[in-house]
Structure formats: C-alpha cells, structure tokens
Structure 1
C-alpha cells in the first residue's frame, strides 16, 4: 500500500512540477515526494515529525480546508513561518480522506486540472483502503484498551488476553496509569484540542515503546497505561509523565481553547487487569492539580497527602463549617489572608514555631501575636491536637474547593 501511495505522490509532483505531500484527514503525513526548492519550517517539521502541529492545523481549518471540495489556495502566515500553498482535498463519495499539499510561494502554480490525470481518483481509492484498514486496527486496539478501564474484573481479564494474543503488548506485569488533563475555559475541548491531546499521547508512547504502553482519549482527558513493569532502560512513570507534560505543552502551544494542562500519576498495580485503580488515582491527581495550580504541572497520587482523602469525596465534600466553624469565620473575613497563610504554614510544619518564623521571615514575637489572634478569632486552642487536625483539614478543603486561595 505504501508503495502505491509513493508512486501516486511522485506522479502528482511530476505533473504539478513541484514537490507534493499527502496527509490523511487528521493531517498526519502519509507520504511525500522528493523535496527540492523552497521549503518553509512548517513543511520541514511535518516531514520530520510526520504530523502538522495543532497550531497550524487550527490555522488551516479556519481557512476552510475541511469543507473544501475543490483546490484551495491558502495564504502565507508570517507568525507561523508558513508560505502560500495549494491544498487539494481528497474525497471518496464525499467522505474526506486527506489532502495533497503543494507549496506555491509566488502564486505561479496554475489551476491544473488534476482530475484529468486520473491520479486524484486513484489516490482517493488508495487512501480509502488504507483508511479502512487503519481505522479497523486502531478501533480494535482502542476498544480493547477502553475495556481495561471497565468496572468488571472479568471484562478486564479478557481485554488483557486479547491484547497479548494480538501482540499489542510485550507482556503483562506492573502497570501504572498517567492522565493528561486539558484545562479549558469552561467549554469541552474542541476537535483540534483533542487532536493535540492524542498527538502528545502518541508521541510519548512511541518514545516508551508502542508495545510497552497503551493510550485512550476520553472526553476531556487522555490516558496512558504503562505496562510490563520496570526493566533496564525502560523509563520510570515519573520520567514518562515529565515527557508527556513536555509533549502536551508542545502540542497545545498556540491553542486558545487550552489554558494549561496537568498530568496525574497513579500508583502501580500488579497487572493491566488492575490498572483501573491506578487510572482512578491518576485522574483524581490531575483534577486536584487543575484546582490547585501551585501543585505543579505533574501531580502524583503518592504525593497528594490529605488531598487523596478529599479528592475521593467527589461531590459529597463537607462544608468547611462542618470541619471547623472557627475557620469558616476566618475565611468570611476578607481582612485575614495573612493570618490564614500563617496558620497553614504553622500547621504544615507540625506546629514548629521556630521553623514557621524562619520560613515566613518573621520575628518570633510577631508569629506568636498572629497565632494568638487566630485563636481569638477562630475560638480555638492551637495546643489541642484535635483542634489543629480540624483546622488543617479545613484549610486544605478550602484550597480544594476554592474558598481559600493564598497568593503563594
């Protein structure tokens, strides 16, 4: 099949008198002719990475290539370092299958009737066959990978067997889930954002090894399942998460719909059939990271502390007043942010006044004055261990719910 597509793209390039590149409908590079002459950075990057960046995809879609049924002339973009192009949409019975691209820096390419050569019709059939075979294989893997996250243990066991029999995984063993969460401005991620998400997952998976990981794209997040445990040369979950974060930043750069991204790391499980537990932890970690940007771009379940408990409460979170009425009063008083931050640092440091004063760069007398004011306003006793526990829990709940948003 690849040989047939190469023959067609070479013939198209010869007919047009300039290099040609074919993409599928998701703007992934399928094949390209020999390239000589003028090339912009977008074309070079597409050939090297075999995929157009989401930023460029969004720009072309705004031009209207997805709806086109005739060749489209796309203008230059200095911001993207993009030269003018001629884009020929490839359709089979009106189903969009891909695009043929020609760089046309000086607008001299004639409106050649490519249909007359028979090459576009031939290309549409070839892409249709490749698309059908590729979609079937991709859908099968995706469906099996999705069932690894099902509630039924029997279903998950069958999925692992199916993956092994199909040779899609190198073997079973300790499995860890990573979740890539897109943070948008209240709207569900659009198609371009979801394509960027999948691009980051696929790029990371290729680096790890396509048979050592599986990926799934869900509504607003992606899942990367690392399978087979740790062996010499295989990256740790933390290293994989760092790379996934880097790839997400690269893939979503310039997309106005995506404000930022967060990667969550679950704890390892004995095998893929149990990875659903790791997935739940990774998803909660990512969602806590969305609410608490101070935790960073990569958030691990093992490092969440009390937020592990609070994140499991989902929509049943208690009111802060139920945890500690005095802290609720402090939160209502907008003039008390310094007292709240002092209290949190003091409790984070297990009531160590010396360490608290040092970290806050306060004289010990000032610290003691603030703690006394907190006791008065919250009607509490900081020498009481139970009171300190309730205050600490209420502060962390306030962070998670957005009631308490310190500047630091």
Structure 2
C-alpha cells in the first residue's frame, strides 16, 4: 500500500528535486532521501531536524498565496530567512488544504510539464491525510471508551481497536504513554505497525502494544524502536519521557494497564529526560495510582514526618533513604555513603528525634519508608 513516505519519494523522483511533505500547519510528515548533490537550505534542515517551521517562516510562505493556490506555484527565496526558491504543490482534498509538498528549485529547473503529475501525487497525499485523520479520531474515541467505560459498553470498541493493531482479543498487551513534543500531531499519519495502535489522550499519546514488543525495554531508544518511531531526533529524544503499564491478559483489561502507565508517567516526569518508567519498577510508588493524594498523605505522612521532610538536611535525608533501602544495615549504609558508621547512627538519631518514629519498630520503619518515597508526589 502506498504511504506518505512513498509519495514524497515519488515527488522527488518526478521533479528531480529534494522534497518535503508538511501538513497544513507546517509540521513535517515525510521527506525524500538526501543526495550528495541536493540543494539544502536552512528551512529544509530545520523542518527535518525540528519537524516544524518557525512562525516567521510560516507567515512568509502564507504571504506568497499558498493557501489559496489551486495547483503548483513557485515561491521566491529569502536570504534573511534562509529560504531557497521552491516549487510548492498544495495537497488538497475536497477543496481543503491537507498539506504542502516543498521542492527546492533555486534555478527553476523543474519542468512545468511535470506539474500535472505532481498535482495528482499531491491529491493522493491529501486523500491519505484526510482518511488518516478520520481513522485516528475513531481510534481515539475507541480508546477513551475502553479506558473510561464499562466492560459491556466497550465490547465492540475492544474488537475494533484490537483489529486496528492486528491484536487477538485475548492476547497479552500493555499500554505505553509517551510524553514527546509534537507526537500527537504525527500519529495520524504514521505508518501502521503490527501489534501497535496509537491513540491521543490528553496531552500525551498512548500506544496499545503487544506485550512481547516492550518486554525488557530499559530506555527511550529501545522503547521508541519497539513502537516503530523511526528517524529519531536527538533533540526530541532527550526530552521524551515514557511509561509502560502492567501487562494485562487481554484488551478488555486495557483500563488497568492504562492507569498503571499513567502512574508511571507521573513518576517519569520527575526524573531526567529520556526516562522510561515501567510498572514493575514503581515499587511503593504504585500506590499513587490506587488512592487519592490526600488519602495517601493522611495515611503515611503525619505532621511530624512532613516537617522533618521539609526541613531535614540533604545528608540526613540521604542517610535515611539508604539505610531504609539497605534493610536497616548501618554498615552497608556507611559503605554506600563513604562515611563512618557512627555518622550513620548520629543522623538516624536526628531522624528519630524529629519524627517521633522508633526505628527499631518495623511498623514505624515501614510508614517512614512510604512517607519518604511518596511525599514528593503528594505536595
């Protein structure tokens, strides 16, 4: 089946010129492969690297009449904006502009005899973009019904969404949430990948994924590859955060894995960019997804502990965290922190005095450990 990437390559071959395809808001959809003798300008480079044009470039091109053009038209260069002269081929479907093909042509070498075929390619792209957006809106609605509605109401939606990903209704799957700039604008036009179906939800994008595709992923590079996000860009990868929900036995349980992924993404957003948080790695932080913040705070962060967490020195807090992680071993804590064992005991005494907790009691240690882990998310 012809894809938008295929059409961009067809347009480049037809005109013998470097080609990019952008949507109506100048967000990159596809581009032709670069050849050594291709003309390159700043705007094409930025479009490919940053996947969108700047406001001044958009305004400049719109001022050339591209929104009203019924067919191909030449646009002049502008050295100040880093623009080389181009041939613009609007991609229209049912009278509405769905996007633009841009072909670098500083010497006006593109033969006007190719323009009718270029317009036919653009019309095919516009039709694909229109169909893709309607299809994506349908998938978004199916996903919402599955994660928000009851099982009986969602039964038909489950079958439709599973079919879109090539999933069996009773196949193990997981929900992945990806917080990545502009991904929501791109999923409608992304090529389909077996075992993965995308849905836009709020300010992030969800992927319903065959479980084995994301098994053991540990970073964004692995995860994006598993999800089929090709042509990765360093400046976007470095700000991407993602979470993988628990594996569930079938698509009827999508709401469960979605809630787990949502909790994971909440944690991932507090960590360095590029972080992937899995449900299995959350530990006690999984409680963030099963109780309200105020209920959790009332249960595990009493006023004395809250004051301690707000005022304790970084050294005392670090010692408490390591000591709790090391199952109360002062010697292992001292080794990890490279301090004397007496320093550990002194700092732990400060913890007991400030919180009123008896660190010799398992129940007090448990509550304090939960407070230390959960409190940063409950403010």
TM-score after normalising by structure 1: 0.70
1:7-406 equivalent positions in 2, closer than 5 A: 9=11, 13=15, 18-19=16-17, 21=19, 23=21, 25=23, 26-29=27-30, 37-40=37-40, 53=48, 55-59=50-54, 62-64=57-59, 67=62, 69-70=65-66, 71-73=74-76, 84-90=84-90, 92=92, 95-104=96-105, 107-109=106-108, 125-163=123-161, 168-172=165-169, 173-182=171-180, 192=182, 194-195=184-185, 198=187, 202=190, 210-227=193-210, 229-230=211-212, 236=215, 238=217, 242-245=221-224, 251=232, 253-254=234-235, 260-291=239-270, 293=271, 297-319=275-297, 323-333=301-311, 336-401=313-378
Do the aligned residues in 1 keep the contact of 2:76 with 2:85 (CA within 8 Å)?
Answer: yes
Do the aligned residues in 1 keep the contact of 2:22 with 2:29 (CA within 8 Å)?
Answer: yes
Unaligned runs of at least 5 residues, structure 2: 67-73
Do the aligned residues in 2 keep the contact of 1:179 with 1:265 (CA within 8 Å)?
Answer: yes
Output one character per residue of 1:216-242: Cα deviation in whole Å (capped at 9) or x when no partner. 122211111113x54xxx562637965
Note the C-alpha offset of 1:314. 3.9
3-state SS in 1 of match to 2:53: helix
3-state SS in 1 of match to 2:21: strand
3-state SS in 2 of match to 1:154: coil
CA distance in 2, matches of 1:357, 1:249: 46
Output one character per residue of 1:268-295: Cα deviation in whole Å (capped at 9) or x when no partner. 111112122111101111111213x169
Note the C-alpha offset of 1:306. 1.1
Note the C-alpha offset of 1:55. 0.3
Note the C-alpha offset of 1:115. 11
Number of residue pairs aligned between Structure 1 and Structure 2: 362
Q: 1:94 to 1:343 in 2, by over 3 A?
A: same
CA distance in 2, matches of 1:73, 1:99: 16
CA distance in 2, matches of 1:124, 1:202: 17
Do the aligned residues in 2 keep the contact of 1:74 with 1:84 (CA within 8 Å)?
Answer: yes
CA distance in 1, matches of 2:206, 2:42: 28
CA distance in 1, matches of 2:114, 2:249: 60
Q: 1:350 to 1:10 in 2, by over 3 A?
A: closer
CA distance in 2, matches of 1:271, 1:42: 48
Q: Match for residue 406 of structure 1?
A: none
Do the aligned residues in 2 keep the contact of 1:60 with 1:74 (CA within 8 Å)?
Answer: no
Q: 1:28 to 1:157 in 2, by over 3 A?
A: same
CA distance in 2, matches of 1:296, 1:130: 32
Note the C-alpha offset of 1:357. 1.0
3-state SS in 1 of match to 2:154: helix
3-state SS in 2 of match to 1:387: helix
Q: Match for residue 185 of structure 1?
A: none
Do the aligned residues in 2 keep the contact of 1:320 with 1:327 (CA within 8 Å)?
Answer: no
Q: 1:289 to 1:9 in 2, by over 3 A?
A: closer
Note the C-alpha offset of 1:324. 3.3
Output one character per residue of 1:226-264: Cα deviation in whole Å (capped at 9) or x when no partner. 13x54xxx5626379652357889756446xx9822211
CA distance in 2, matches of 1:126, 1:202: 16
Note the C-alpha offset of 1:119. 5.9
Note the C-alpha offset of 1:319. 4.1
Range that drifts further, 299-308 or 153-162: 153-162
Unaligned runs of at least 5 residues, structure 1: 47-51, 183-188, 403-408
Q: Match for residue 71 of structure 2?
A: none
